[in-house]
Structure 1
Amino acid sequence: MANFLFYGINEAGEIVFSQLLRDFDRADLRALADARLQDWHAVEVWEGPVCLVRLRRAPAN
């Protein structure tokens, strides 16, 4: 278990939400990011200076 920083990012590329995930299981990060992508245009999960997950919604047509 480790600590991670989760970011919700708007369409302008600005961070509009952040959350410290304390004692979170690395194996669950992708599922968390997938679920939270409903709330923001993009999401990222970081461990220190390393981005572990980066997801963005598909462009609207």
Structure 2
Amino acid sequence: MSNSSPPQPRPPGTPRCRLDENLYPAGIKVADQEIAAINICRSDFHGEWNYSIKPRSLKSKL
């Protein structure tokens, strides 16, 4: 007899989280124009850490 219960299904929309242990190249340069084109909406509370990236409008171009 096992003390563990069977896995329970997750409700739809429940995120799966895990640590990303991949290595990524350092020193990649992104042009100021590309950074300016990102639609960043900063939170009123610690906007330097808490922000959303929203889709660009169809009119905006790089």
Q: Please classify the TM superposition score into its range, dividing by the shorter chain length.
A: under 0.3
Which has the bigger relative contact order, CA under 8 A and spacing at least 6? 1
| Larger Cα-atom Rg | 2
- Normalization by structure 1: what TM-score? 0.21
Name whichever structure is richer in helix by fraction. Answer: 1
